[in-house]
């Protein structure tokens, strides 16, 4: 992490430095003044809040609909859209328009439909107040940095990065966002569902005693494959089929299982300090499935010795589970990700909490409420920790070694191409047989 520089001795402070500092302070104060004015206008409901969607895929369309349906600030408009590929904008705009009754909430003419790898920057200059960052996670650090620099409130999808340098960039940009008074939400919708908040609160209040261990699962069939298209470059192919490339998607332990890992960290009110684990690919073999594993099993250790056992699998016809469990000295909590939570204190009747509302909507209601009230709102720090925890797990399964948090967070392994454009070389390529190499425990350097 960046260290603060000690102040220079006053004898060495030149008048020029002093003026520079004063004008920066003045500019900062003016910016804050404008911002609080802008937010009080939002609070009064007298202003239309303009939204940009960056990444017009499945979740992006859903996030835009949730934003337009938020119950806190009804005066919102979808104003700009950006995607790497033009057809994604068209289909997404169609889908959002069909889903929203109040068509006047959608105002995205051709001139505010931006296409390309730099399209996100153009949305920031289109007069919007809020950006929804829903691209593949490898792009998140650069797009979050740009949004904060441009002074936008942000909703960004999880995970927030695919490697440690990306996590550090998110943490740095998050600190800037706080200084600028920007609201930042992250798509960990479970944190907003009552069936989660109620049981986690009770666990923190001691309902099941001291935590003994945690178990978290994301075991399912897997996710869709996007086959290579005629005439497509290798980079276009990888960005379209991003799930299967670590530099873009992070592997499914990071992209998907981060939901459960995040709940584990939430129970523990901390991040682990160490991880070791095993993983591999047993059925995920072929030219279409990139370089990611199909299973990971990780034992995370928190300071003080608490363990979290984490399992994620993408193999059809096996036991499926999207769930989180806390075991304490006086009872247990069992949460089905999108089902019911059961809190059992030993010897007492279990308490049940059903899923009442979809957290994807609630998280957007909460973000817009904060924008309206001007309340400080930042989910980026703990989300960055959860993403880093999942990356720590991947480092353990890929390397076959024990990985410590402090070393992992300092990792300089950053495969994301610098100054990415459509002419860039992707960081991984298929071999002569068309297959991509994947990590080999005992051989792969993972941090």
**Interface with ligand NAD in residues 59-78 (CB under 6 A):** 59-60
Given 33, 45, 58, 227, the residue binding ligand NAD (CB under 6 A): 58
Beta strand pairing call for 211-220 and 130-133: unpaired
CB of 67 to ligand NAD, least distance (A): 14
Does 277 participate in binding ligand NAD (rule CB under 6 A)? no
Burial class (CB in 10 A: 0-12, 13-18, 19+), 24: exposed
Does 325 participate in binding ligand NAD (rule CB under 6 A)? no
Residue count of the chain, please give it.
Answer: 447
Does 394 participate in binding ligand NAD (rule CB under 6 A)? no
Q: Which is nearer to ligand NAD, 88 or 215 (CB)?
A: 88
Residue nearest to ligand NAD (CB): 57
Pattern of binders to ligand NAD over 100-139, x per CB under 6 A?
Answer: -----------------x-xx-------------xxxx-x
Given 64, 67, 81, 84, the residue binding ligand NAD (CB under 6 A): 84
CB of 249 to ligand NAD, least distance (A): 8
CB of 156 to ligand NAD, least distance (A): 8
Does 426 participate in binding ligand NAD (rule CB under 6 A)? no
Retrieve residue 275's tokens.
């991880």
**Judged by CB under 6 A, which stretch of 23-31, 82-90, 213-221, 267-275 contacts ligand NAD?**
82-90
Radius of gyration of the chain (CA): 23
CA-CA-CA-CA torsion sign (432, 433, 434, 439):
negative
* Residue 331, phi-psi category: left (phi > 0), alpha (psi -120 to 50), beta (remainder): left
Pattern of binders to ligand NAD over 234-273, x per CB under 6 A?
Answer: -----x---------------x------------------
Does 52 participate in binding ligand NAD (rule CB under 6 A)? no
Q: Which is nearer to ligand NAD, 54 or 211 (CB)?
A: 54
Given 40, 47, 85, 90, the residue binding ligand NAD (CB under 6 A): 85
CB of 377 to ligand NAD, least distance (A): 18
Q: Which is nearer to ligand NAD, 187 or 272 (CB)?
A: 187
Question: Would you tell me the crossing angle of helices 15-44 and 164-180 to the nearest 10 degrees?
Answer: 80
The Cα–Cα gap between 20 and 406 comes to 36
CB of 43 to ligand NAD, least distance (A): 27
Interface with ligand NAD (CB under 6 A), residue total 26
CB of 339 to ligand NAD, least distance (A): 15
Beta strand pairing call for 130-133 and 113-115: unpaired
Retrieve residue 2's tokens.
């960046």
**Judged by CB under 6 A, which stretch of 15-23, 56-64, 173-181, 380-388 contacts ligand NAD?**
56-64
Given 141, 187, 331, 337, the residue binding ligand NAD (CB under 6 A): 187
CB of 40 to ligand NAD, least distance (A): 31
The Cα–Cα gap between 436 and 422 comes to 21
**Judged by CB under 6 A, which stretch of 20-28, 34-42, 50-58, 276-284 contacts ligand NAD?**
50-58
Which stretches of the chain bind ligand NAD, using CB under 6 A?
54-60, 82-85, 88, 117, 119-120, 134-137, 139, 157-158, 187, 189, 239, 255
């Amino acid at each position: 992490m960046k260290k603060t520089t000690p102040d220079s001795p006053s004898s060495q402070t030149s008048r020029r430095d002093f003026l520079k500092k004063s004008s920066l302070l003045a500019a900062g104060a003016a910016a804050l003044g404008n911002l609080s004015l802008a937010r009080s206008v939002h609070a009064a409901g007298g202003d239309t809040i303009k939204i940009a969607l960056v990444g017009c895929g499945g979740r992006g369309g859903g996030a835009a609909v949730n934003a337009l349906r938020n119950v806190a600030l009804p005066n919102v408009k979808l104003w700009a859209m950006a995607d790497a590929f033009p057809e994604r904008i068209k289909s997404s705009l169609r889908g959002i328009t069909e889903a929203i009754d109040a068509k006047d909430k959608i105002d995205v003419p051709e001139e505010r439909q931006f296409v390309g790898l730099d399209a996100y920057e153009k949305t920031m200059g289109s007069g919007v107040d809020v950006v929804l960052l829903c691209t593949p996670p490898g792009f998140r650090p650069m797009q979050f940095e740009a949004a904060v620099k441009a002074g936008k409130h942000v909703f960004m999808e999880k995970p927030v990065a695919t490697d440690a340098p990306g996590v550090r960039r998110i943490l740095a940009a998050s600190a800037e966002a706080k200084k600028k008074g920007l609201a930042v939400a992250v798509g960990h919708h479970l944190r907003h569902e009552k069936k989660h908040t109620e049981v986690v609160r009770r666990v923190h209040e001691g309902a099941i005693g001291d935590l003994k261990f945690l178990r978290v699962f994301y075991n399912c069939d897997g996710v869709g494959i996007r086959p290579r298209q005629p005439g497509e470059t290798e980079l276009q192919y990888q960005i379209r089929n991003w799930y299967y490339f670590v530099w873009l998607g992070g592997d499914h332990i990071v992209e998907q299982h981060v939901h459960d890992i995040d709940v584990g960290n939430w129970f523990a009110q901390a991040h682990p300090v160490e991880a070791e684990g095993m993983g591999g690919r047993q059925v995920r073999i072929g030219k279409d499935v990139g370089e990611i594993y199909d299973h990971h099993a990780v034992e995370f250790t928190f300071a003080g010795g608490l363990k979290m056992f984490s399992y994620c699998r993408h193999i059809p016809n096996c036991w499926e589970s999207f769930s989180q469990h806390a075991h304490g000295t006086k009872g247990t909590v069992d949460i089905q990700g999108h089902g019911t939570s059961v809190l059992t204190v030993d010897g007492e009747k279990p308490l049940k909490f059903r899923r009442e509302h979809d957290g994807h909507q609630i998280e957007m209601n909460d973000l817009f409420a904060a924008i309206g009230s001007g309340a400080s709102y930042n989910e980026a720090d703990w989300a960055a920790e959860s993403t880093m925890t999942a990356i720590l797990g991947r480092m353990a399964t890929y390397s076959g070694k024990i990985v410590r948090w402090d070393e992992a967070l300092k990792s300089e392994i950053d495969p994301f191409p610098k100054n990415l454009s459509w002419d860039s070389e992707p960081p991984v390529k298929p071999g002569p047989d068309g297959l991509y190499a994947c990590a080999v425990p005992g051989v792969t350097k993972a941090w």
